[in-house]
Amino acid sequence: MAKRIASAVVVLIAGLIVFIATRPDSFHISRSRPIQAPPEVVHALINNFSKWPQWSPYEKVDPNLQRTYDGPAEGVGAGYAWKGNKNIGAGRMTIVASNPGERVTIRLEFIEPFAAVNQAEFILAPGTTTTHVTWSMSGPNTFLGKAMMGFGLMESFVGKQLEQGLTDLDTAAREEALKATQSAQAETPHLSPAP
């Protein structure tokens, strides 16, 4: 009886390994939503890493997160490194492409708790009153990534983070758009009616 159970466990494990190994060698996860602000306002919040604490879900994982910035303040070459607790780990982001009001592409390097190099991309499509934003993450799949993907865990976990980030980006962009409107109104000279 014990031999049959052991044989069944071996077959089950072998089948699981084969199933995981046949998963795709790369992954792509994306989420989209309309943002209630003009493309230039949304782009400015993504294109400058010092503005990410206003909306990025990853910034809230560790209240003691250590951040360092290098390169230009925004756009291509801007860099951001982080080091935090076991839930956020350590890594680095670098903007590799930026088209105002249209797109930001980021090289995303994870150092801890595991090493990986992925790509994050934001695509902005202006509408009449909103900006439709798609945030995606893609890269090569490790064995662990294939296992998570095979059971839908990666799509669910990363997808929820992207959704939360887009929701918070919408809130931050609305606030920035309102400030810009109020500032423009304050600078507009008010003409007194003619006598």
Cα 107-111-113 angle, rounded to 5 deg = 130
C-alpha neighbours within 13 Å on the C-beta side of residue 134: 11
Name the pTM for this structure: 0.76
Q: Which of 126, 108, 51, 61 is nearest to 87 (CA)?
A: 61
pLDDT band at 153 (very low <50, low <70, confident <90, very high): low
Q: Where do the domains of the chain lie?
A: 26-177
Give the residue carrying structure tokens 């994050």: 120
- What pLDDT does residue 149 have? 54
Please compute the mean of the pLDDT values over residues 116-145 and round it to a whole number.
85
CATH of domain 26-177: 3.30.530.20
Q: Which of 159, 183, 142, 193 is nearest to 41 (CA)?
A: 183
- What pLDDT does residue 180 have? 74
Question: What share of the chain has pLDDT > 70, as a percent?
Answer: 77
CA distance 127 to 39: 9
Give the residue carrying structure tokens 């945030």: 135
The string of pLDDT tens digits covering residues 59-117 is 888 888 899 999 999 999 999 999 989 888 999 999 999 999 899 999 999 998 888 89
